[in-house]
Chain A
Amino acid sequence: MYAFAYHQPTSLKEAASLLAGEDAKIVAGGHTLIPTMKQRLAAPGTLIDLGKVPDLVGIERSPRSVTIGAMTTHGAVADSAEVREAIPALAELAALIGDPAVRHRGTIGGSVANNDPAADYPAACLALGATISTNKRKLTSEEYFTGLFETALEEGEIVTGVSFPIPHKAAYEKFRNPASRYALVGVFVAKRPSDIRVAVTGAGSNGVFRWTEAEEALGKRFAAKSLEGMSPSADGLNSDIHADAAYRAHLIGVMARRAVQKAADR
C-alpha cells in the first residue's frame, strides 16, 4: 500500500467536494479497493470514507419497492425481514456474496459503483429494473451499467441508494467461480408486473446483460420448460481457466432454467 490522505466527511456535500480533489476515491466497505491498494495495484492519493455520512444506511419498504441505502452491507440485506418478504431473491443473492467477513463490510453502493463484471448485484438491478440514486440524479439500470467496471457515474457523483421495484416472482441462481466464489455465471430472473427479465452476470465480456431470447420464450409461458435446450450464443462471453465461453453459455441456460423453476415454485 502507498501512503494516502484519509477523510471521513459527515455530509454528502462535504464528500462530494472532497471527491473533486485530485486523485480522490470513495471507499465504502473497502472489500475491493483495499485489497487492490494493499497489492499496490491501486494508489489513490485521497480516500473518502462514507462511513460517517448519515442516512446512507438502511432499508425502506414501500408498497411497490424496496430502497436500500448505499452503505447498507450485504449481510444486512441478506438478513432483512423486509427484503426477505418483499423480494426474497434479493436477500438470497446478498447471502451468496463472498463470505461472512465480506458480507459484513461490503456494501451495495460499493458493489454497483465498482460494477465488477462478476458481481451479483448488477444482475438483480437489471432484472428487477432498479433505479440507482446518486447525489445528483436518478438513473435506470440500463442507463447506469455501461461496461466492464464502467458506470454512468460522472466526476463527483456518489451513489446514495438503490431502489428495487417489487416483482411478482424472482429468483437468482449463481454458479460460483470455483476459486474466487464470484459469479462464473449468475442469472437473475424476474417476473415483473409489466414484463419478464433475465439478467446475466459473470459471463459477459462487457459486463451484465439481458438475455432477451429467454425473456421472449418466458413471455409465452413462465416455466423452466420454455427454456429447454436454450443457451445464448457463446460470442461475447468470457473465457478463462475456469470456464470457456461455450461452458459459460451452457451454464447460463442451466442457471436460467433453475432460476425460473425456483421463481415459479415460490
Chain B
Amino acid sequence: MTATGIGASVRRKEDQRFITGKGRYVDDYNRPGQAYAYFLRSPHAHAEIRGIDKAAAAAMPGVVAILTGEDLAADKVGGLICGWMIHSKDGTPMKAGAHPALAQGKVRYVGDHVAVVIAETLAQAKDAAEAITVDYDLLPAVVETAKAAGASTVVHDVAPDNTVFNWHLGNQADVEAAFARAAHVTKLDIVNNRLVPNPIEPRAAVGEYDEAEEAFTLYTTSQNPHVARLVLSAFIGIAPENKLRVVAPDVGGGFGSKIFIYAEETVCVWAAKKVGRPVKWTSDRTEAFLCDAHGRDHVTHAELATDEGGKILALKVHTIANLGAYLSTFSSSVPTYLYAPLLSGQYNIPAIYCEVDGVYTNTAPVDAYRGAGRPEATFVIERLVEVAARELNQDPAKFRRKNYIKSFPHQTPVIMMYDGGDYSASLDKALEIADHKGFARRRRESARNGKLRGIGFSSYIEACGIAPSQAVGSLGAGVGLWESAEVRVNPTGSIEVLTGSHSHGQGHETTFAQLVSDRLGVPIESVTIVHGDTDKVQFGMGTYGSRSGAVGMSAIAKAIDKVVAKGRKVAAYALEAGEDDIEFKDGRFSVAGTDRSLAFGEVALQAYVAHKFSGAQLEPGLKEGAFYDPTNFTFPAGMHICELEVDPDTGVVTIEKFTAVDDFGNVINPMIVEGQVHGGIAQGVGQALFEGALYDSDGQLVTASFMDYRMPRAEDLPSFEVGMTVTPCPSNPLGIKGCGEAGAIAAPAAVMNALTDALGHESIAMPATPLAVWRAAQGSPHLRPEAAE
C-alpha cells in the first residue's frame, strides 16, 4: 500500500475548499440579468382551486411574471414522473396520479406549488405572492398512513380508495404451511416513523436560456444530473437532451432527497425561456421541511414462526407505506423492491411472504432517504428476532447465531442471492469490542444509581451498488443502473477522470483519485475528478444506494485497464519491443528482463506526439471510457450493538456505547468509510430517539422547523467503537460492497432493542422521545416488579 493508494486514509482533497468557504454551491451561481423565483404554496392540505387572481400582484413593483399551472399546460410541459413501475398482485399497474409542477385545479398537501412569482428581487417576489388571491374550496384531508385506504377523502381520482398498489413478494402458501407447524409465533406491530432529510444545503436552482444556441442550462442541487436531464427532456419536455445542460456543482448533502426531479427546478428552467431571463430559486428551511421528499413512514404487522429449538421457519409481513400526495421520482420502488427483498436479513428463513399497500395521503411525497427501504426491512426483522429470542428465553446473540446463513451463495425466498459474508465473525468481533461480558456488571451499577441499562443488537444486511440493469429492469425500473467513466490522460501525464457518479459529501475527489494513483502509479495530485456537468461528463447514473464505490469506481477501474492496455502498445513502439514483452508496474512500462523502461508520463507524451508509430499502426492519444454494469447487488452486512441508559425520572436516554462492526468488502479510504459509518449511525440514532415528522389531522406539518423537529447533535452521541471485517465482494473487480447507508440501516433497531431491553417491555415506538420514554418507564417491570406479573 502506498501513502495515497488503495487502503490509505488520505485526507480529503476537497476539504480545503469546503472548510475555507470556497466551495461553489448552486446558490453561489449568479447569472447576468437573473430574476428571482418565489413559489406561492398551498396553506391547505387538500383543496380545489376555484380561481387564482393575480392581477394586483402582477402590477406590483419589480414583478417580471406570475405563472401558474395553466401556463404550464399551455406550453405542454409534462408532469413530474415516477420512474419505477410497480404492479399490484392482481397484475394491474400502480395508480399514478397526475403531478403537475404547478397545481392544476387542486392542491394535495401543505406546500404544494400554486404559482411562481418571478421578480427583480426575492423581496419583491414575496411581496407580490402575498397579493395573489387564491379561491380555495377546502376538502377534508387524509393524513394517517393506516387510515388512508378506503377513506372518504380521495387524493387522486385514479385511485379512488387512495391505494397506489397492493403489491406482494414471496410464497404465501409456503409461509402459511410453516406457520401451521410452528412451535412459537412472535408478533409485532411496528411504526417506522416519517423523517425529513434535512441536508445542510437546501435545494436550489438557476435556470438559463441561451437564445442564440436555443439551449437551456439548469444549475441544480442534484445527486444525478444526467438522470435529471433525461427526465426533464424525455418526459417533462423542456428541451431535447442535446439542448439542455444540467450542472450539479458542489452539493451540500443529499441523503437521497436530491435524487428526485422536483417542481421548483423544473419551473426555473422552463420559466427562464418564458421570461427571457435567468431564473433563480433557493429553498429556505421551511420550504425544505414542507416539500423535500420525506423518508420512511410505514405501518407494519409482522410475524415470525420458530420451531421448538428456536430455528426460524417463516416470516410474514404486511406493510402500509405512505407515499404522500404524489408519487415522487423513485417512490414506488422504496417500500417494494428496496424493502421486501431484504426481509431475510442475515438469517436462513425458508419461507417469506410480504404484502405492501402503497397509499396516497395529503402529506409531502415520500421517497428514498438514506437506506431507502433497507432500514425499514432491517427494523422489522431485527426487532422480530430480538423479541422472539426474549419470548423463547434465549440469548439474543446466540439466537441470531443459530439462525445465521452460513454458506454462500445463498438464495433467499425473496429474490436476493447473497454472494458472500461471514456474519458470525462480525458478531464475535462486535461482542468483544462492546465488552458484552461486562454488561451485567454495568447494568447492576446503573440500577444502583436508579438508572435502567439495556443492550441491543442489530445484524443488518443491505443490498447496495444498485444494480444489474437487467435485474432492475425486470422489476420495473425505468432506467439501467450501470455507471460510466472516462479516463483522460494528458500529454504531460496528468489525468482527468470523468465519472457519472456525483459527490455531495462522500469524498469522491479523494477516493477515486486514490484508485487512479494506485493503479497508474501517478501522484494523487496529478489526478482530477470531474463530475456533475452533463456538458463535460458522458451519461452517468449518479450517486445513491451506496453505489459510487462498487459501480462508479468499477467503471473507472475498467477504463484504467484500457488505458494500461493502450499504454503497453505505445510503450512497445517507443521501446522498440514486442507488446507482449511490455510490463506495467509501479507507474513504469518496462521491457521484461531488461533495464529499458518509460515512466507513465513519458508514455503519455509518446501517445500524443505519435512520433514512434504511424497512424496505420496505432491511434494517437491516451483516453479511454468504460461502462460498467454490475453482475449482482452487493451485500454489506455487519453487527451493531447499542448500550444505553434510561433516566426513569426524566425519560432521557443516554447512549453509553455504540459498537459497529461492518463488512464493506475492500475499503479504499478507511477514514472516509469510518466517517460514513459515523454519520449513518447519527442519523439512525436520530430516527430511533429524536426525529419524527408529524402532521396534525388537518394535514398541517407540526414539525416544520428545527424548533420542533429534533435533529441529532454531537453531544447526543458517544465516541463510536468501529471495527471492520473484510470479505471482498465477489461481484465487482474491486471487491467493494458500499458503506454509505449502513449506519442508518443498522442503528434504529440496535437502539430500540437496547431501549426495550432497558425498559423490560416492548411498548414503545420511534421516536422514543423523553416524553415517550418517561411514560414507558412507568410500566417497566425493572422499576415496578408488580408490573411484570
What residues make up the interface of A, taking CB atoms closer than 8 Å to B? Answer: 1-3, 39-40, 175, 178-180, 241-244, 247, 250-251, 254
State the interface size on chain B (CB cutoff 8 A).
Answer: 22
Min CB gap B573→A, angstroms: 64
In the complex, identify which listed stretch (B466-474, B701-709, B729-737) lies at the interface while the others stay far away. Answer: B701-709
- Is B774 a contact partner of A247 (Cβ separation < 8 A)? yes
Given known contacts A40-B126, A241-B702, A247-B774, A178 and B769 CB-to-CB distance under 8 angstroms: yes
Say whether B286 faces chain A, with CB atoms less than 8 Å apart.
yes
Within the complex, which residue of A3, A175, A180 is in contact with B650, where a contact is CB–CB below 8 Å? A175
10 closest A-B pairs by beta carbon, nearest first, are A179-B710, A180-B707, A178-B710, A254-B649, A179-B708, A247-B771, A243-B771, A179-B707, A254-B650, A247-B774
Chain B binding site: helix, strand, loop or mixed by DSSP? Answer: loop
Complex Cα spacing A161 to B649, Å: 37
Complex Cα spacing A244 to B772, Å: 10
Q: Which residues of A contact B710 (CB under 8 A)?
A: 178-179
Complex Cα spacing A242 to B690, Å: 10
Q: Which residue from chain A places its CB closest to the CB of B127 in the assembled complex?
A: A2
Complex Cα spacing A77 to B649, Å: 31
Interface membership of chain B positions 101-139, coded 1 if the CB is closer than 8 angstroms to chain A and 0 otherwise: 000000000000000000000010011000000000000
Q: Which residues of B contact A40 (CB under 8 A)?
A: 126
Min CB gap B144→A, angstroms: 16
Q: Which residue from chain A places its CB closest to the CB of B122 in the assembled complex?
A: A1
- Is B708 a contact partner of A250 (Cβ separation < 8 A)? no
Known pairs A179-B711, A242-B771, A254-B649 / 17 extra A-B pairs, C-beta < 8 Å: A1-B123, A2-B123, A2-B127, A39-B286, A40-B126, A178-B710, A178-B769, A179-B707, A179-B708, A179-B710, A180-B706, A180-B708, A241-B694, A241-B702, A241-B703, A242-B769, A244-B771
Complex Cα spacing A242 to B774, Å: 12
Interface membership of chain B positions 662-704, coded 1 if the CB is closer than 8 angstroms to chain A and 0 otherwise: 0000000000000000000000000000100010000000110
- Is A241 a contact partner of B708 (Cβ separation < 8 A)? yes
Say whether B770 faces chain A, with CB atoms less than 8 Å apart.
yes
Q: Which residues of B contact A242 (CB under 8 A)?
A: 708, 769-771
- Is B126 a contact partner of A251 (Cβ separation < 8 A)? no
Min CB gap A185→B, angstroms: 10
- Give 24 CB contacts A-B under 8 Å: A1-B123, A3-B123, A39-B286, A40-B126, A178-B710, A178-B769, A179-B708, A179-B709, A179-B710, A180-B707, A241-B694, A241-B702, A241-B708, A242-B708, A242-B769, A242-B770, A242-B771, A243-B770, A244-B771, A247-B651, A247-B774, A250-B774, A251-B650, A254-B650
A to B contact number (C-beta, < 8 Å): 41
Complex Cα spacing A241 to B127, Å: 33
Min CB gap B580→A, angstroms: 67
Complex Cα spacing A179 to B771, Å: 13
Q: Which residues of A contact B127 (CB under 8 A)?
A: 2
- Is A179 a contact partner of B649 (Cβ separation < 8 A)? no
Min CB gap A180→B, angstroms: 4
Min CB gap B290→A, angstroms: 13
Complex Cα spacing A76 to B232, Å: 54
Complex Cα spacing A242 to B707, Å: 11
Min CB gap B29→A, angstroms: 23
Complex Cα spacing A40 to B690, Å: 29
Q: Which residues of A contact B775 (CB under 8 A)?
A: 247
Complex Cα spacing A250 to B647, Å: 13
Q: Which residue from chain A places its CB closest to the CB of B767 in the assembled complex?
A: A178
Complex Cα spacing A162 to B707, Å: 28
Q: Which residue from chain A places its CB closest to the CB of B696 in the assembled complex?
A: A241
Q: Which residue from chain A places its CB closest to the CB of B652 in the assembled complex?
A: A175
Q: Which residues of B contact A2 (CB under 8 A)?
A: 123, 127
Min CB gap A260→B, angstroms: 14
Complex Cα spacing A132 to B123, Å: 39
Q: Which residues of A contact B651 (CB under 8 A)?
A: 247
Complex Cα spacing A242 to B772, Å: 9
Min CB gap B387→A, angstroms: 27
Q: Which residue from chain A places its CB closest to the CB of B650 in the assembled complex?
A: A254
Q: Which residue from chain B places its CB closest to the CB of A180 in the assembled complex?
A: B707
Q: Which residue from chain B places its CB closest to the CB of A244 in the assembled complex?
A: B771
